[in-house]
Amino acid sequence: MARLLLVDDDAGLLAVLTLAFGDAGHEVVCAADGREALDRLEAGDIELLVTDVNMPKLDGLALVRTLRGRGDPLPILVLTARDDELDEALGLELGADDYVTKPFSNRVLTTRVAALLRRQAIRGGAVIEPTTAPRRIGALQLDDARLEVQWSGHIVQTTMTELRLLDALTRRPGIVLSRDALLERIRGDGTVVAPRIIDTYVNRLRRKLEAIDPTFDRIETVVGAGYRWREA
């Protein structure tokens, strides 16, 4: 269980989420805007941040930008309006680890938070017994038990969604997968998401892999169709 910071200017929503996360065993701290959130974070002991986008004084995206700009690795989940794909994409580009679109179910949100916390625990050195052997596809290695990606022996720092995207593409090398098909494989919880957000995930993955190997070209764009993992 963890100490969470929830940031939203909707007091009613904060009350509902506080109850939901409390029922899940978490301790909750609340803030009404980004500036108050920064003050709360200065006190320490926050293990994960859930923030809305549209808020007064300092909005959610500016909050993410501030934290990542100073090198804060705190796991961040962004809440965004269903139709606002720009906020979704920008939040991810700035360094948010995941997002949930409004309206959402408390179950979806608490499940996503639990997944981010589990990933953080693994990175922090918690011992988890592996359930499956790492899967290798050429220079790529996917370790589902450790939620870890490697390319040519170098660890690639990915979000859970990026890992799932790689898994979906590499399980069917050479086969074109549409954006809708990829979303179904990586989101699978009933959340309504704009299919074009897949482009953001792909672009982030390419940059991360190219930073390790400038010749990386395994993820191919098929114009008008989707993406595929190019066979060696």
* Average pLDDT rounded to a whole number, residues 7-26: 92
The residue among 73, 89, 123 that closes a domain is: 123
Contact call for residues 75 and 93 (beta carbons, < 8 A): no
Domain count, the chain: 2
Domain match, 15 and 94 both: yes
The residue among 123, 152, 169 that closes a domain is: 123
Residue 50: domain span: 3-123
Q: Has residue 130 been placed in a domain?
A: no
Q: How far apart are CA 59 and CA 78, in angstroms?
A: 11
Q: Has residue 129 been placed in a domain?
A: no
Domain match, 154 and 107 both: no
> Which residues lie below 8 Å from residue 115, measured CB to CB, with a gap of 6+?
98, 160
The domain that contains 175 carries what CATH number? 1.10.10.10
Element containing residue 106 per DSSP (H, E):
helix 106-123
Domain match, 164 and 90 both: no
Contact call for residues 12 and 33 (beta carbons, < 8 A): no
Beta bridge partners of 80: 101
Q: Is the pTM of this model over 0.85?
A: no
Domain match, 116 and 222 both: no
Chain segment 154-199, per-residue pLDDT in tens: 999 887 778 888 988 998 899 999 988 888 777 654 444 566 778 8
Residue 78 C-beta-side C-alpha neighbours within 13 Å: 30
Q: How far apart are CA 140 and CA 2, in angstroms?
A: 33
Q: Has residue 128 been placed in a domain?
A: no
Phi-psi region of 110 (alpha: psi -120 to 50; beta: other; left: phi over 0): alpha
Q: Has residue 86 been placed in a domain?
A: yes
For the ranges 89-98, 125-134, 178-187, 211-220, the lowest mean pLDDT is seen at 125-134
